[in-house]
Amino acid sequence: MPIVTVASPKGGAGKSTASIILATELAHAGAEVTILDCDPNRSISIWADRGTLPPRINVRSDVGESEIVKTLKQQDADGRVVIVDLEGVASRLVSRAISQADLVLTPMRATTLDATIGVRALALIEEEEEALGRAIRHAVVFTMTRAIKSKQHTAIEKSLRGQGVDIITPPLMERAAFSALFEFGGDLRTMPVQGKMEPAAENASAFAQAVYNRLVGKGL
């Protein structure tokens, strides 16, 4: 089963939110999912401790630089989808996790600052590709977006596409339900109503489907 690493050097870019949404949607579809919480902020662990974990999801926060490759290979052998929420720095742990990934997701907000810092993750992926002598599939997902794209968002997306960067569609919108996951735990189906739940659930499902399509080779 696939390994998805979620990497960005920019704090507040939505790494943990994207990881949780992807994990819970895949688990709801029937997949067995392990999330490795490798971010020192432990946002995934905070979410896991807020309420009952959804079925088919396991969270681990005890994996460091020396264990990451072994752990990923073991989880992969067990037939689980593995999602790695990485720390926001360029470290040996991050490099090792990226080297084992079937897909690297780089979340970023549609701002010039986030895009400028976020592309450092793309450069790190390129370095790993050179070291390994093979391509590592990767994609950008815009987070906390609005229904109407700003000129800045449009320009950033056009620039990235012009550089051949894969961009997940749809982006993850700015939804009260997404941020509330860290308050209530669980998933979008079990948490108390927060804002407009139906559009949030549809956005989460479509995002997870777009990621899944890339994992099985269908999407660009």
CATH code: domain of residue 93: 3.40.50.300
Residue type, 85: D
Cβ-Cβ contacts under 8 Å for 48 (sequence gap 6 or more): 37, 59, 185
In a domain? residue 144: yes
Report if pTM > 0.85. Answer: yes
H or E element in which residue 67 lies: none
Is 220 a member of any domain? Answer: no
List the pLDDT tens digit at each of the 220 positions of the chain.
Answer: 699 999 998 888 999 999 999 999 999 999 999 999 999 999 999 999 998 999 999 999 989 899 999 998 887 667 789 999 998 777 889 999 999 999 999 999 999 999 998 888 898 999 999 999 999 999 999 999 998 899 999 999 999 999 999 999 999 999 999 999 999 999 999 999 999 999 999 999 999 999 999 998 855 4
| Contacts of 140 by beta carbon, 8 Å cutoff, 6+ apart | 105, 106, 107, 108, 118, 122, 160, 165, 166, 167, 168
CB atoms within 10 A of CB 50: 16
Residue 156: per-residue pLDDT: 96
Q: Would you say residue 121 lies in a domain?
A: yes
State how many domains the chain has.
1
Is residue 166, in this structure, part of any structural domain at all? yes
- Whole-angstrom distance, CA of residue 58 vs CA of residue 54: 9
Tell me, yes or no, whether 130 lies in a domain.
yes
Task: Give the model's pLDDT for residue 220.
Answer: 45
Please, how many CA atoms are within 13 Å of residue 88, restricted to the half-sphere of its CB? Answer: 18
pLDDT confidence of residue 190: 94
Cα separation of 215 and 100, whole Å? Answer: 14
Residue 205 is assigned to a structural domain of this protein: yes
pLDDT at 76: 67
Q: Which of 64, 66, 86, 67 is nearest to 4 (CA)?
A: 86
Range of the domain at 127: 3-215
Q: Which amino acid is at 152?
A: Q
pLDDT value of residue 167: 97
pLDDT at 80: 87
Q: How much is the pLDDT for 77?
A: 64
- What is the C-alpha radius of gyration for the chain, rounded to an integer number of angstroms? 16
